[in-house]
Amino acid sequence: MSQYLLSVHGNRDEDAAETRTMEDFQPIFEAVERFNERLRSEGAWVFAGGLQQIDRATTVDNTGDAPIVTDGPYIESKEYLGGFWVIEAADHDAALAWAVEGSKACQGKVEVRPFQDEPEA
Amino acid sequence: MSEALDVTAHAAIERIFREEYGRVVASLVRRLGGIDAAEEAAGEALVVALERWPVDGTPPNPGAWLTTTAARKGIDRIRREQRRDAKHQAALMVQDDTPHEPTGVVEDDRLRLVFTCCHPALAPEARVALTLRLLGGLTVAEIAQAFLVPETTMAQRITRAKAKIRDAGIPFRVPAADDLPERVSAVMAVVYLVFNEGYLSGSAETPIRDELTGEAIRLGRLLHGLLPSLPEVTGLLALMLLIEARRPSRLAGGELVPLPEQDRGGWDRALVAEGHALVRECLAIGRPGRYQLLAAVNAVHTDAPTAADTDWGQIARLYDQLYALDPSPLVALNRAVVLAELDGPEVALAEVDRLPARQAALATYHAFHATRADLLRRLGRSADARAAYDAALAATANPAERAYLTRRRDQLSGG
């Protein structure tokens, strides 16, 4: 079994143009919750979370003499990481199958990336 | 009550409200679970005060009255909202459940709030704005005007910073002893920035902004009261007081008057005495820092009955000490000015002319060009001095400084 990161990205321009209300999003929240339940019941769930808006980010750089803390994201970009799942899957195809479901549920594109290290068996 | 009296009474209440704002908001942030709730409650308390005080008279302790009233209003609001939405109950009843840890420094809600406002995870301009808003009680419009940005921009900056504090969970806490020196530095930087913007405004309209220097000194006094054992905090307050003391003589006929030419009889002797006492107090601790040394330089200046009596040797030693701590081109520039008094303008100019190669930022810094211009003038190099005055004029919008530089340039021979 390997672990995969399924990440969902937001877009500032799309956010700015967003006209839907919280109520409009309710079906999406419910679909994501159903997807999470499926991950749990199939033993694929490791961890998942939605992130606060990107302008709540803080960047820390301790590569120099002293740590430097700055307000804002590491990469200034229209796209940003909005939320993610960490899942356990037999192989990449199984991870992609979960991503297909996840993308449908959250109504967003999902990026699939395998973790570097094999988790301990 | 006549309308005129009413207006005066309202203005007096609003002045008290502003004075007490930081105390009221700070004490409510934890109780009500957030800055917005605290500010709303404080605003409601003001409405009640405007209604009651003209009738009942101003209470003996207005700050405590405002805090109690605001707390009651805030809790009422929470109860109303709980009834409306039971699901939010848990969220709204959030209390500060962090255990009370002895931090070794005075615990005060305003101190916690200062550290929240000046947190490194907030953008520097947001730290300044939040500190002035929450601790200083300035309105968003006043802060916007002070920093020459549109009110909507400033409102967004403050709203965004408050949202980040809330959503990112920036704590309302005095930092642990390990982080304290660095975090206090960030707070002092905010206070000194406010002071400097007031002392020599970047604005083309007003050369000195009393409201900002006054506010910075108020914050400096607050900080000193809360952290009396930190010598740099004492040094910062002393520095601001000793600069402020000279304010009455800094302007004449809309023109900036340089220190040697100032009417020393116009200096505020009470502020000078207070500043000197603070300088002695902090230097006695034996841990000199940037603000303490700058305060000491200003103490030497304000100690001299006339410009000719200035102990330049002492000032040179202080700048050497400062340069060892902070080898910045700005400190080097100031050290060179002292050299002119001790070893003559030629030596000082040689020192100044060695600077720009090291730091391009000086090229757009008006004091660099103004210093060069003055040294060149004293050496009789009129044409070079003229060019340097022009460069200094191009780098500053401050009207009093421009008036001074223009007069000096126009007095040069061969023009």
ipTM over 0.90: no
Amino acid at B304: A
- Average model confidence (pLDDT) across chain A: 91
Give the residue from chain B lying closest to A66, CA to CA.
B182
Number of Cβ within a 10 Å radius of residue B316: 17
- What pLDDT is recorded for position B97? 45
- What pLDDT is recorded for position B119? 92
- What pLDDT is recorded for position B106? 40
Q: What average pLDDT does the segment A108-121 reach?
A: 80
- What pLDDT is recorded for position B37? 94
CB contact under 8 A, B121 and A58: yes
Residue B192 covered by a domain: no
Q: Is B7 exposed, middle or buried (0-12, 13-18, 19+ CB in 10 A)?
A: exposed
Q: Nearest CA to CA, how far is A69 from chain B (Å)? A: 6
For residues B5 and A103, which has the higher predicted lDDT (pLDDT)? A103
Three-state secondary-structure class, residue B115: helix
Give the residue from B92, B110, B144 where a domain finishes: B92
- What pLDDT is recorded for position B93? 45
Give the residue from chain B lying closest to A55, CA to CA.
B164
Interface residue A53 vs chain B (CB under 8 A): yes
Give the residue from B28, B63, B92 where a domain finishes: B92
Of A52, A56, A71, the CB nearest to B123: A71
Question: What is the topology classification, in CATH, of domain A2-113?
Answer: Alpha-Beta Plaits (3.30.70)
Q: What average pLDDT does the segment A73-77 reach?
A: 89
- pLDDT tens string for chain B (415 positions)? 566 667 888 889 988 998 899 889 999 998 898 999 999 999 999 999 999 999 999 999 999 999 999 999 999 998 888 777 665 444 444 444 444 444 433 457 888 999 999 999 899 999 999 999 998 888 898 888 877 789 999 999 999 999 999 888 888 888 888 888 889 999 999 999 889 888 876 666 677 777 789 989 999 999 999 899 999 999 999 999 999 999 999 988 889 999 999 999 999 999 999 999 999 999 999 999 999 999 999 999 999 999 999 999 999 999 999 999 988 888 999 999 999 999 999 999 999 988 865 566 677 788 899 999 999 999 999 999 999 999 999 988 889 999 999 999 999 986 5
Residue B313 covered by a domain: no
Residues of A in contact with B168 (CB under 8 A): 52, 56, 58
Look at phi and psi of residue B190 and say left if phi exceeds 0, alpha if psi is from -120 to 50, else beta. alpha
Tokens of B178: 């390990």
- What pLDDT is recorded for position A20? 86
Residues of B in contact with A52 (CB under 8 A): 167-168
Q: Nearest CA to CA, how far is A87 from chain B (Å)? A: 25
pTM: 0.79
Domain assignments of chain A as residue spans, ordered by start: 2-113
- The C-alpha atoms of residue B220 and residue B184 are separated, in whole angstroms, by 12
Residue B42 covered by a domain: yes
- The C-alpha atoms of residue B2 and residue A116 are separated, in whole angstroms, by 78
Residue B224 and residue B370 in contact, taking contact as beta carbons nearer than 8 Å: no
Residues of B in contact with A70 (CB under 8 A): 120, 123
Three-state secondary-structure class, residue B179: coil
Domains held by chain B: number: 2
Three-state secondary-structure class, residue A60: strand
pLDDT in tens, A11-54: 888 888 888 888 888 999 999 999 999 999 999 999 999 999 89
Residue B272 covered by a domain: no
Look at phi and psi of residue B17 and say left if phi exceeds 0, alpha if psi is from -120 to 50, else beta. alpha
Give the residue from B92, B120, B147 where a domain finishes: B92
- The C-alpha atoms of residue B175 and residue B104 are separated, in whole angstroms, by 11
What range does the domain containing B37 cover?
Answer: 3-92
Nearest to B363 by CA among B329, B337, B319: B329
Of A52, A53, A69, the CB nearest to B121: A69
Interface residue B123 vs chain A (CB under 8 A): yes
